Amino acid sequence: GESVGLHLPTLSVQEGDNSIINCAYSNSASDYFIWYKQESGKGPQFIIDIRSNMDKRQGQRVTVLLNKTVKHLSLQIAATQPGDSAVYFCAETPNRDDKIIFGKGTRLHILP
Amino acid sequence: SQTIHQWPATLVQPVGSPLSLECTVEGTSNPNLYWYRQAAGRGLQLLFYSVGIGQISSEVPQNLSASRPQDRQFILSSKKLLLSDSGFYLCACSHAGIPGYTYEQYFGPGTRLTVT
């Protein structure tokens, strides 16, 4: 569901290591999923998307994995860099309508 | 590709004062438009969305209202601001439901509102 009123969990990762950010979605009928990155003071930016007929999709340094059995989505970032510091939100389209539902977000903190 | 403009970027308003935030979209037509609010360190709350001129759907009860006077213009208003209206307001657009388009939403830079 929507992440109103919840403080964001934090993931701390050493620079150069891989990051894995997880998300549980709510509706088994959702057929499209998106990961967004939001840097401090800015609007969310699209990272990567995946349709429900896929279980993996790769982009530049990022991979999204979808497990429909357990309604779980993950974002993997390879060789994490300082510029990856941000809040990451997953989003789903549960009703095939005009709205998408955002997950609660995870703050990624990069350790030097 | 579309570009979303929001202004002002920051705003400090006293309790009880009116509010008007504007969002305009360039580079596309007939978009779905959305207003979100984000409290500090928290997630996104959908406030309003619009699928066309004059068509507004409200997601949560509140003292805010939205209007869409033109295809690519979306306005968020209040007659009297409350302290709880402070937050980061984001405008977004999409073409969800139109063949050939995904459900992806594109976001503007946001307006940070502080009600004092």
Q: Which chain A positions have a beta carbon within 8 Å of B43's beta carbon?
A: 2-4, 6, 8, 89, 102-105
**pLDDT at residue A6 in the model:** 56
A99 part of contact set with chain B, CB < 8 Å: yes
Q: Cβ separation of A7 and B42 shorter than 8 Å?
A: yes
Residue A66 to chain B, least CA–CA distance (Å): 17
Q: What is the mean pLDDT of each run of 10 residues along chain A (112 residues)?
A: 61 96 89 93 93 94 96 96 96 76 91 92
Q: Which of A2, A42, A103 sits opposite B110 (nearest CB)?
A: A42
Could you report the per-residue pLDDT of B27-60, keeping only the tens digit for each?
988 899 999 999 887 889 999 999 999 999 998 8
A-interface mutation test, from B44, B50, B74, B90, most A Cβ less than 10 A away: B44
**pLDDT at residue B61 in the model:** 73
Residue ranges of chain B with per-residue pLDDT less than 50: none
Contacts (Cβ under 8 Å, ≥6 apart) of A64: A33, A35, A48, A49, A50, A56, A57, A73, A74, A75, A76
